[in-house]
Amino acid sequence: MKNLLLSILALLLLASCQNERSPKQVSEGAEMKEAVPESEKTLDVPWIAAFNDSTQLLEMRKNPVARPGNLNEQDIIDALNLKYPQIRIDSLAIEGNKAIVRIEDASYLTQEIGSAGARVYLAEATYSLTEVGEIEAVDFRFKAGDHATPGILTRRSFESFN
């Protein structure tokens, strides 16, 4: 059973790492920040969860193709929505050092990808959003389900990964 779960998780991670690059779409009503030439921006999440074969644990790793120094909070949301189109972050607000993200339709996150898949998504979103600006925590707001519940997460929430 454990090997089956690990195999499914590894396949999920491999499938989710393949994304198509497309021009950045600015959400309606999104505040424009200092412009960075599109040729220098990449819509790749700065952090990815990866399975470590030797420890048999998930761990957070910097994404070698991402350039987080060129990204702002909205770019991270766009990158997450590109990588995980079934888990669309519908809005982002910044309050002090906390990002508030709303996911209106979280059924894929909470009911379909399993607990491990949901944890991977929440970890990648949390690590990636806390990579930019002064953000230290992410307040996820969505309807709770079997595999994920809303709440405030920080990098310390995922210490069991490494």
Picking from 21, 25, 23, 28, the residue whose alpha carbon sits closest to that of residue 44 is 21
Could you list the residue range(s) of the whole structural domain that residue 111 is in?
Answer: 2-25+37-161
77 found inside a domain: yes
Q: Is residue 32 part of a domain?
A: no
Q: In 3D, which of 126, 19, 39 has the Cα closest to residue 82? A: 19
Examine residue 48 and state whether it is found in any structural domain, yes or no.
yes
Query: Residue 27: its pLDDT value, please?
Result: 37
pLDDT score, position 42:
62
Any domain includes 30: no
Contact, 125 vs 139, CB < 8 A? no
Each of the 162 residues of the chain gets a pLDDT tens digit; together they read 545 444 454 544 445 544 443 333 333 333 333 444 444 556 889 999 988 888 888 899 999 988 877 788 999 999 999 999 999 999 999 999 999 999 999 999 999 999 999 999 999 999 999 998 899 999 999 999 999 999 999 999 998 876
Burial classification of residue 3, based on how many CB atoms lie within 10 Å of its CB (0-12 exposed, 13-18 middle, 19 or more buried): exposed
| Nearest in space to 85 (alpha carbons), one of 137, 140, 25, 138 | 25
Q: How many domains does the chain contain in total?
A: 1
Query: What pLDDT was estimated at residue 30?
Result: 38
In a domain, 83, yes or no: yes
- Other C-beta atoms within 10 Å of 28: how many? 5
Given this model, what pLDDT does residue 6 score?
45
Nearest residue to 146 (alpha-carbon basis) of 99, 114, 105, 98: 114
Residue carrying structure tokens 């519908």: 90
Is 12 contained in some domain?
Answer: yes
Q: What confidence score (pLDDT) does residue 56 get? A: 82
